[in-house]
């Protein structure tokens, strides 16, 4: 079995996790200082968001040098120590591979834009005239470069320039990046917006939906994309077949997401069909669970997550600050079939951070939205409200790890949960339980829902998640031993009575 099939990952948003030298920015020494904490929690893998040198237009997802560490996060000694300490604690480390685009300050792009006949000209995508493609951060995806009077393509900000994946030298250059980090001892990669790679030279306009919103049809999932991903995967696995790859596929359609994983393709992909719902919807969640059960069989797995640096905290978004709902969701995250990812602070019930003015906003997506709204003659207050709706800063604030007042954070401090100790214990117990009773190979024997009670059985473990009122369920299992619960549950041979908003996990007695 692959190690990652049994691993619970923990995403660390680099600048915000733990700051060791009080300059307001998280760093490698800070993470190393938290290895014991992560070990106690029980995670087995860390996903690090980008820590490479970057002008930080998109907080590191705009890389200007693939072969270094940004000095604000530490030096090589700090990095090596972190990897060693993590490995000593049996925690693996995967790093973010952002190869759809580079920063416009990357030397490759500086060369490319310098003249029409620069050898790196075609490493990026240049056109005399733009088409209608829109950037995912708003506005046209094309920017005119005065120097050579041509437009370059950027699916995100104009300072994140898309690489031309039809060019063999680009591929080779990225393979060198991959090799470099493998040599540094990392255990795998998280591939950023990997279905966005420009793998075709066709620039057909995108269509619009009825509301006039652009449908991203021709700029993503282009012809050639699977071959490109296969070649990355082949390169990684040739180096070491135990290296893990997880791809970010920008879609909430399971059929599409799943095309990118499988033999010769990515190990797993992020399932935006499930964890990124905008609000709690038990019916929809159950439907998606069912579809995931159908889609992922034998040695294929979905990923499970309710948080990331791109979505609001699930304490607010899904649990509406209800501790018991939060506990139910945590149980779902950590007991269902798939590869779970905890986002830093989830284990403490961290809530959304909300900026109160344009000056406080760091996220480029929100800043762009603010200006769009202002251009529509909205007031500052109204623009701020709209900007905060898409503001990814909400989940990116620093954790205040100790009581002594820390007065400095590059962004601000995350909202502390008054029940953080209890929530931490809950996560810890769930992780321990998963480790003890679950083997990822187990399939659902049962996956069902009655009213707002979702229940399932994996192996010998039975999980009852009652999101609704007190309810009854026929006992299909006979003798059950309780493993973990946070409420009153009466189990008799005929039926199970479970109080409202209660989690109950048990084991079939044999
Ligand atoms: C991914 C990252 C996001 C970033 C974007 C562009 O979606 O998760 O934070 O803005 O890629 O790199
Ligand atoms: Ca620091």
39 and 143 both lie in a single domain: no
In a domain, 116, yes or no: yes
**Ligand 1 atom 2: the closest Cα is on which residue?**
192
pLDDT at 406: 65
Instruction: Indicate which atom in ligand 1 lies nearest the CA of residue 364.
Output: 10
319 and 303 both lie in a single domain: yes
CATH of residue 141: 3.90.400.10
84 and 120 both lie in a single domain: no
Residue 17 Cα, ligand 2 centroid: separation in angstroms? Answer: 10
- With beta carbons less than 8 A apart as the criterion, state whether 93 and 46 touch: yes
**Ligand 1 atom 4: the closest Cα is on which residue?**
61
**Ligand 1 atom 9: the closest Cα is on which residue?**
310
86 and 117 both lie in a single domain: no
117 and 248 both lie in a single domain: no
278 and 144 both lie in a single domain: no
Per-residue DSSP letters for 341-384? EEETTGGGT-B-----SGGG---HHHHHHHHHHHHTT--HHHHH
**pLDDT tens digits for 287-319?**
999 999 999 998 899 999 999 999 999 999 999
137 lines ligand 1 (CB under 6 A): no
Percentage with pLDDT > 90 across the chain: 95
In a domain, 134, yes or no: yes
Ligand with an atom nearest the CA of residue 19: 2
Where a domain ends, among 385, 402, 437? 437
246 lines ligand 1 (CB under 6 A): no
Active site residues: 192, 248
77 and 19 both lie in a single domain: yes
**pLDDT tens digits for 110-139?**
999 999 999 999 999 999 999 999 999 999
390 lines ligand 1 (CB under 6 A): no
pLDDT at 510: 81
45 and 190 both lie in a single domain: yes
pLDDT at 415: 86
> Between the CA atoms of 231, 232, 238 and 243, what dihedral angle is there, to the nearest 10 degrees?
-150
pLDDT at 405: 63
**pLDDT tens digits for 172-193?**
999 999 999 999 999 999 999 9
Which pTM value belongs to this model?
A: 0.97
Q: What is the largest CA-CA distance in the chain?
A: 79
Cα dist from 237 to 3, 128, 165, 245, whole Å: 14, 39, 20, 9
CA 454 to chain centre: 25
In a domain, 367, yes or no: no
pLDDT at 439: 80
CA 480 to chain centre: 36
In a domain, 397, yes or no: no
193 lines ligand 1 (CB under 6 A): yes
Residue 390 Cα, ligand 1 centroid: separation in angstroms? Answer: 13
Q: Residue 471's domain spans which residues?
A: 444-508
- With beta carbons less than 8 A apart as the criterion, state whether 342 and 333 touch: yes
303 and 433 both lie in a single domain: yes
Ligand with an atom nearest the CA of residue 409: 2
Pocket test residue of 154, 303, 310, 364 for ligand 1, highest count of atoms within 8 A of CB: 310
In a domain, 40, yes or no: yes
Read off the pLDDT of each residue in 422-437 and give the average, rounded to a whole number: 97
61 lines ligand 1 (CB under 6 A): yes
Predicted confidence (pLDDT) at residue 441 exceeds the cutoff of 90: no
Read off the pLDDT of each residue in 1-29 and give the average, rounded to a whole number: 96
Q: 203 falls in which pLDDT band (50, 70, 90)? A: very high
b (16+ CB within 10 A) / e for 337-356: bbbbbbbbbbbbbbbbbbbe
58 lines ligand 1 (CB under 6 A): yes
156 lines ligand 1 (CB under 6 A): yes
Read off the pLDDT of each residue in 464-479 and give the average, rounded to a whole number: 97
**pLDDT tens digits for 238-248?**
999 999 999 99
In a domain, 483, yes or no: yes
**pLDDT tens digits for 378-419?**
999 999 999 999 999 999 999 999 766 667 899 999 989 999
478 and 420 both lie in a single domain: no
314 and 433 both lie in a single domain: yes
pLDDT at 403: 62
Ligand with an atom nearest the CA of residue 161: 1
- Strand 101-103 versus strand 160-162 pairing type: antiparallel
17 and 38 both lie in a single domain: yes
Q: Pick 493 or 440 by higher pLDDT.
A: 493
Q: Provide the number of structural domains found in the chain.
A: 3
Instruction: Indicate which atom in ligand 1 lies nearest the CA of residue 309.
Output: 9
98 lines ligand 1 (CB under 6 A): yes
CATH of residue 496: 2.60.40
Pocket test residue of 156, 159, 395 for ligand 1, highest count of atoms within 8 A of CB: 156
Calculate the average pLDDT of the chain: 96
In a domain, 233, yes or no: yes
Q: What SS3 class is residue 277?
A: coil
Read off the pLDDT of each residue in 442-465 and give the average, rounded to a whole number: 96
Where a domain ends, among 402, 437, 472? 437
């Amino acid at each position: 079995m692959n190690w990652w099939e049994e691993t619970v990952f923990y995403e660390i948003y680099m600048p915000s996790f733990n700051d060791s030298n009080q300059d307001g920015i998280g760093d490698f020494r800070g993470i190393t200082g938290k290895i014991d904490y992560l070990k106690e929690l029980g995670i087995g893998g860390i996903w690090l968001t980008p820590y490479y040198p970057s002008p930080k237009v998109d907080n590191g997802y705009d890389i200007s040098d693939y072969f270094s560490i940004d000095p604000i996060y530490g030096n090589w000694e700090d990095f090596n120590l972190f990897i060693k300490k993590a490995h000593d604690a049996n925690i693996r480390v995967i790093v973010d591979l952002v190869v759809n685009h580079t920063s416009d300050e990357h030397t490759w792009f500086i060369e490319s834009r310098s003249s029409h006949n620069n050898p790196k000209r075609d490493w990026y995508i240049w056109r005399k005239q733009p088409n209608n493609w829109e950037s995912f951060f708003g506005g046209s995806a094309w920017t005119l470069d005065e120097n050579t009077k041509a437009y370059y393509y950027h699916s995100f900000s104009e300072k994140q320039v898309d690489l031309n994946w039809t060019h063999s030298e680009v591929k080779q250059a990225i393979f060198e990046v991959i090799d470099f980090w493998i040599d540094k001892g990392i255990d795998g990669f998280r591939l950023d917006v990997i279905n966005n790679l420009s793998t075709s030279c066709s620039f057909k306009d995108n269509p619009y939906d009825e509301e006039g919103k652009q449908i991203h049809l021709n700029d993503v999932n282009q012809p050639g994309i699977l071959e490109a991903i296969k070649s990355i995967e082949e390169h990684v696995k040739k180096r070491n077949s135990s290296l893990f790859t997880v791809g970010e596929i920008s879609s909430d359609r399971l059929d599409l997401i799943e095309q990118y994983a499988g033999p010769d393709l990515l190990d797993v992909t992020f399932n935006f069909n499930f964890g990124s719902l905008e609000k709690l919807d038990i019916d929809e969640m159950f439907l998606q669970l069912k579809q995931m059960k159908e889609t992922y069989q034998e040695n294929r797995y979905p990923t499970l997550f309710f948080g990331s640096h791109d979505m609001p905290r699930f304490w607010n978004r899904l649990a509406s600050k209800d501790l018991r709902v939060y506990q139910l969701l945590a149980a779902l995250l950590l007991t269902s079939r798939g590869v779970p990812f905890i986002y830093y602070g989830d284990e403490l019930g961290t809530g959304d951070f909300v900026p109160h003015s344009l000056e406080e906003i760091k996220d480029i997506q929100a800043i762009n939205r603010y200006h769009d709204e202002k251009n529509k003659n909205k007031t500052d207050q109204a623009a701020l409200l709209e900007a905060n709706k898409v503001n990814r800063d909400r989940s990116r604030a620093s954790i205040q790890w100790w009581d002594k007042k820390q007065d400095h954070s590059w962004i601000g401090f995350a909202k502390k949960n008054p029940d953080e100790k209890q929530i931490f214990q809950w996560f810890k117990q769930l992780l321990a339980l998963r480790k003890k009773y679950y083997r990822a190979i187990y399939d659902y024997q049962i996956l069902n829902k009655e009213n707002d009670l979702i229940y399932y059985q994996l192996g010998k473990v039975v999980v009852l998640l009652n999101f609704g009122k007190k309810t009854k369920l026929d006992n299909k299992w006979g003798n059950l031993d309780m493993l973990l619960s946070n409420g009153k549950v009466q189990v008799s041979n005929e039926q199970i009575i479970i109080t409202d908003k209660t989690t109950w996990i048990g084991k079939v007695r044999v």
